[in-house]
Structure 1
Amino acid sequence: MAFAAPSTSPESGPEVRTAAGAVRGTREGGLAVFRGIPFAEPPVGTFRFAAPQPVRSWGGVRPAIAFGPPPPQSGLLGASQAPVGDDWLTVNVWTPAPDGADLPVMVWIPGGGYVGGSSGLPEYDGAHLARGGVVAVTLNYRLGIEGFMHIEGAPDNRGLLDQVAALEWVRENIREFGGDPAQVTVFGQSAGGGSVASLLAMPRATGLFHRAIAQSLPGTFFSPELAADIGAACAAEIGVNPIVSELSSVAPSLLPAVGDAVSAMVGNWRDRWGQITHRPIPFAPVVDGDVLPTTPWQALADGAGRDIDLLVGHTRDEHRLFSLIDGVLGQVTEDQTETALQMFAPGPDGVRRYREAFPVATNEQLYELINSDWLFRMPSLQLADAQISGGGQVHLYELTWSSPGMGGGLGSCHGLDIPLIFGNLTSGRPALLIGEPLPPAAEELSSCFRTAWTDFATHGDPGWPRYDADHRLTQVFDTSSTIAPYPEEASRLIWQDHTFPALPLLTE
């Protein structure tokens, strides 16, 4: 297929030849920017629910000035984007030098609970990072039922396989954009951080990246039995069997609502699905023994990350944003706190240990602590510990700055690191967490974050000492940033014997 340059793309726009064909981007603020470059065939028709297929080549010059359409996704978090096509599997590139400069490459994997998000969101604009001397790449991957539901006749973890295909595209093409394919860093937050951790454990991803940054890694990975049971519930909601031949007859645009409906009814399966019914999480990577042979923690402890430089961390008040979304911020009851402790505290005496470790904590403080620890803080910390035990190197951080955005009260909540790292402090939904007028501390912190992230991508050193089991030194990002022993020691001691296994199906 031949593509003519559109009228909105000047003939002088930067042009690069990829393995599949030539693309023309735009020049923006001293950068060459390319949007919506396909790295795989659209996963529809005969490719529906299959592993990503190599993109077909094209003749002429393909315009690369607009983001590709977002994959079909959930509307539960209020950020749903209406699909405008089926070419979901695309990458975007910001580069200061598309001329063989061999710059470090940073590949961003968006988060969104494995059900939402896309690379075209304004918060993920890579211009500020690229101006720091790297080639910034963002990507799309399949979400929800399309990407993560267990379906008979289809590979599990299709969304993760999409990410591998995007990294293969980077390996094959990034030198033409000024990047060094031997110096690739993957980074992501929330489900993006979980994806980064998964890639560390995936044999198919070996050699595709050399450094990794996992931000606010969720601890939710599913056993095949749990994934199959959730898949059966989703299929039953449509009135089909959870097999490729029947699900393929349902339009992709209709499937996110099915996942949302199951999420809204998770309480019906509390005795079978356990913890994920308290914080509705219908989709996550599946430890299937093939695409994902084991959990990331086990893989790193076994040495899978020994040759990968790792940077990992979390925010202090991870769960407070979800308390706001759930309508319980400032209104947590004693019963809600007790339920959360019983559901998530590790081991037979976990509830007692929490109450003894935090004797003056209010109900709300305990509720926030246990939810933050189970979902993000302790999985992130234990990824660092697993990397050490497997003979690898790791740097640890925590963001503790309390933003005044959203009326204050959210502290250092989940997602606050995104605008700070990308430098997009006034655009995109996460910028609401910072607020207006823009606090001077936000600009200073953003500069510190971006410097640390690009330095890590360049040298494997973000600017503070490595984390180890003796000193547990951690970069604490705040108005006055410091290097200190890991701040959440009380929680660490409670969770130190927990292994974050793949979540099981509780009853057959």
Structure 2
Amino acid sequence: MTVERTTTHIFQTSFGKVIALKNKGVIRAKSIRYAHSERFQKPVAEQPSPSEIIFPDKTPVCPQAISPLVEKMIGPTHLESFDPDESTQYLSVFRPGSFTEHEKLPVIVWIHGGSHEIGCGDLPTSDPSDWVREQQIIVVTVSYRLGLFGFLGGDERPPNLGLLDIIEALKWIKAYTVEFGGDPENITLLGQSSGGDAIAHLMISEGVEGLFQRVIIQSAPLGLRHKRQKMSAEFLKKTESLKDEADVFKMMDEYRKYVPSVIKYGLKAAMPFGIQYGFPPLCKEEESIEKWKTNAKKYDVLIGLNNDETAFYLKTSDALNKYFGKGLGLKIMDKTVQKTTELIYGTPAKIFAENYAKAGGNVYLFRIHSRSEDNPIWAPHCIDLPLIFGNESAWKSSEMLKNIPWKYIDENGKKLRTLWAEFARNGSISDDSERPEILKIQKLSFK
């Protein structure tokens, strides 16, 4: 078998000379800085430079605490591959290696999830190379500030800095994507979990006019967005002592002591970081629904969830499984998964889509199902990631996919990637397009 060697590709752009790598039919220009920032300050756009922009040895990542659950369910974090950086404004461009000059490809912008607290744009489990190769699209992955650095603030410290970072990334993409072969008038935002939450709120943010045309929102916890002001204010006050700490690793160790109590604030305390209404670039919370309705004709929307979202958290808990892992306990567990999935993800997505359709918007609502007897967590949070991104080797240690043949993931994933790319190209999905067996999707319309 012939192994394709990695070669260098150079993009001569007005932003700078970008050194990229070509391998297996995909060109990757990774970790391009689109902005920079000081701690707790708004991002400042990076200016064009005559210097070469070189592929770094390590991936820049916002300082964060390792999640044992993510390590178990998705895969281990190889710390030696990452370089902690408070100013985490980087993006990577993935383009097909085979390309016709003057061709303009649809652009999909990946906004990663992780409860606004963990993750980055460049992880092996969200490497879009398979998708780029199959569908002749461009995918841009975005990293932005998280946690204390990006999603907690108040009157004395700007909130929503992570959201402002993403807006700067979108401005960069709009300005320079054409020089990578992308169509600046055909940009789709794709986000999962808190990335989907961010995208929903970008739709009603100031300063985004003309920066994107479509959105794909997967598993956004929109049920946790309400009445977070008191919780955020308390969390900010308790972590005030950390604001000038020079050691970011100490910050990561310390802030978890002050995470709000779930008992006191309900389910939303399970995601203590988040967008904050009433601060730039967002409106007040009570104005949000009308803002979405007002903007309904601006963006095509594909929104949905996995059928058993909270199984990711509940059915994987050793403590809960001790009492609810079989018999009547398991029936109670399944019912709890169903109810919490609808409360946090399902009902809010349905209401969002119905409001959008009633306001004249073009919107599709989907749900991913699975009932594998070999894998009792079925279709949990994050099951959409291997379907969208493929990359079998990156998922080989995933507990979430245990006993699920990769052939099943791959067959359904290719069909799903085809549908999502179709939506990104033209804002619609044909009735004649082949659906994967795990997907239920409908276009909503109200006459």
User: 1:294 offset after TM fit, Å?
Assistant: 4.2
Which residue type is aligned with residue 229 of structure 1?
A: E
Which residue type is aligned with residue 382 of structure 1?
A: I
User: 1:202 offset after TM fit, Å?
Assistant: 0.7
2:274 aligned with 1:274: no
Q: Report if aligned partners of 2:300, 2:363 keep a CA contact under 8 Å in 1.
A: yes
Matches within 5 A, 1:119-198: 119-131=121-133, 132-198=135-201
User: 1:126 offset after TM fit, Å?
Assistant: 1.2
**TM-score (normalizing by structure 2):** 0.85
Q: Report if aligned partners of 2:375, 2:401 keep a CA contact under 8 Å in 1.
A: no
Number of aligned positions between the proteins: 421
Partner of 1:504 in structure 2?
none
Partner of 2:74 in structure 1?
none
Which residue type is aligned with residue 441 of structure 1?
A: Y
* Alignment partners' CA distance in 2, 1:190 and 1:234: 25
Partner of 1:442 in structure 2?
409
Partner of 1:388 in structure 2?
357
Deviates more, 1:17-26 or 1:390-399: 17-26
Which residue type is aligned with residue 292 of structure 1?
A: L
User: 1:482 offset after TM fit, Å?
Assistant: 5.6
Partner of 1:17 in structure 2?
12
Partner of 1:461 in structure 2?
428
2:234 aligned with 1:229: yes
Seen in structure 2, the aligned counterparts of structure 1 residues 165 and 430 have a Cα distance that, compared at 3 Å, is: farther
Q: Report if aligned partners of 1:415, 1:430 keep a CA contact under 8 Å in 2.
A: no
Seen in structure 2, the aligned counterparts of structure 1 residues 178 and 483 have a Cα distance that, compared at 3 Å, is: closer
Matches within 5 A, 1:56-67: 56-64=47-55, 66=57
* Alignment partners' CA distance in 2, 1:75 and 1:417: 22
Which residue type is aligned with residue 90 of structure 1?
A: Y
Seen in structure 2, the aligned counterparts of structure 1 residues 323 and 223 have a Cα distance that, compared at 3 Å, is: closer
Once the two structures are superposed, residues 355-406 of structure 1 have per-residue CA deviations (whole angstroms, 9 ceiling, x without a partner) of xxxxxx94223211221112222222222112113221101111002357xx
Matches within 5 A, 1:234-245: 234-235=239-240, 239=241
Matches within 5 A, 1:269-308: 270-271=263-264, 273-277=265-269, 280-295=270-285, 298-299=289-290, 301-308=292-299
User: 1:229 offset after TM fit, Å?
Assistant: 1.6
Partner of 1:6 in structure 2?
none
Seen in structure 2, the aligned counterparts of structure 1 residues 281 and 308 have a Cα distance that, compared at 3 Å, is: same
Q: Report if aligned partners of 1:139, 1:166 keep a CA contact under 8 Å in 2.
A: yes
SS at match of 1:373: helix
Which residue type is aligned with residue 361 of structure 2?
A: G
Once the two structures are superposed, residues 121-168 of structure 1 have per-residue CA deviations (whole angstroms, 9 ceiling, x without a partner) of 101111112121110110101111101111443321111111111111
Once the two structures are superposed, residues 153-211 of structure 1 have per-residue CA deviations (whole angstroms, 9 ceiling, x without a partner) of 33211111111111111011101110001100000111111111111111222221100
Q: What RMSD over aligned residues (CA atoms) do the two structures have, in Å?
A: 3.0
Partner of 1:260 in structure 2?
256
* Alignment partners' CA distance in 1, 2:288 and 2:334: 28
Partner of 2:207 in structure 1?
204
Which residue of 329, 346, 353 corresponds with 1:377? 346
Q: Report if aligned partners of 1:183, 1:458 keep a CA contact under 8 Å in 2.
A: yes
Which residue type is aligned with residue 204 of structure 1?
A: G
**TM-score (normalizing by structure 1):** 0.76
Partner of 2:23 in structure 1?
28
SS at match of 1:411: coil
Which residue type is aligned with residue 420 of structure 1?
A: L
* Alignment partners' CA distance in 1, 2:102 and 2:236: 46
User: 1:309 offset after TM fit, Å?
Assistant: 0.5
* Alignment partners' CA distance in 2, 1:81 and 1:40: 26
Partner of 1:90 in structure 2?
90
* Alignment partners' CA distance in 2, 1:329 and 1:478: 30
Seen in structure 2, the aligned counterparts of structure 1 residues 156 and 100 have a Cα distance that, compared at 3 Å, is: farther
Partner of 1:358 in structure 2?
none
User: 1:252 offset after TM fit, Å?
Assistant: 3.1
* Alignment partners' CA distance in 1, 2:257 and 2:413: 38
Q: Report if aligned partners of 1:93, 1:135 keep a CA contact under 8 Å in 2.
A: yes
Matches within 5 A, 1:396-407: 396-403=365-372
Partner of 2:437 in structure 1?
478
SS at match of 1:331: helix
* Alignment partners' CA distance in 1, 2:441 and 2:115: 31
Seen in structure 2, the aligned counterparts of structure 1 residues 233 and 33 have a Cα distance that, compared at 3 Å, is: same
Seen in structure 2, the aligned counterparts of structure 1 residues 253 and 395 have a Cα distance that, compared at 3 Å, is: same
Deviates more, 1:321-330 or 1:172-181: 321-330
User: 1:289 offset after TM fit, Å?
Assistant: 4.5
Identical residues among aligned pairs (%): 24
SS at match of 1:175: helix
Seen in structure 2, the aligned counterparts of structure 1 residues 403 and 286 have a Cα distance that, compared at 3 Å, is: farther
* Alignment partners' CA distance in 1, 2:408 and 2:281: 43
SS at match of 1:450: helix
Partner of 2:46 in structure 1?
55
Seen in structure 2, the aligned counterparts of structure 1 residues 54 and 485 have a Cα distance that, compared at 3 Å, is: closer
* Alignment partners' CA distance in 2, 1:25 and 1:484: 39
Q: Report if aligned partners of 1:320, 1:329 keep a CA contact under 8 Å in 2.
A: no
Seen in structure 2, the aligned counterparts of structure 1 residues 225 and 331 have a Cα distance that, compared at 3 Å, is: same
Which residue type is aligned with residue 313 of structure 1?
A: G
User: 1:98 offset after TM fit, Å?
Assistant: 8.4
User: 1:310 offset after TM fit, Å?
Assistant: 0.3
* Alignment partners' CA distance in 2, 1:440 and 1:85: 36
* Alignment partners' CA distance in 2, 1:177 and 1:443: 28
* Alignment partners' CA distance in 2, 1:484 and 1:60: 49
Matches within 5 A, 1:299-378: 299=290, 301-327=292-318, 328-329=320-321, 331-332=323-324, 362-378=331-347
* Alignment partners' CA distance in 1, 2:429 and 2:412: 14
Seen in structure 2, the aligned counterparts of structure 1 residues 121 and 435 have a Cα distance that, compared at 3 Å, is: same
Q: Which runs of 5+ in 2 are unaligned?
A: 72-76
Q: Which runs of 5+ in 1 are unaligned?
A: 1-8, 241-246, 338-360, 466-474, 487-508
Which residue type is aligned with residue 260 of structure 1?
A: R
* Alignment partners' CA distance in 2, 1:13 and 1:213: 32
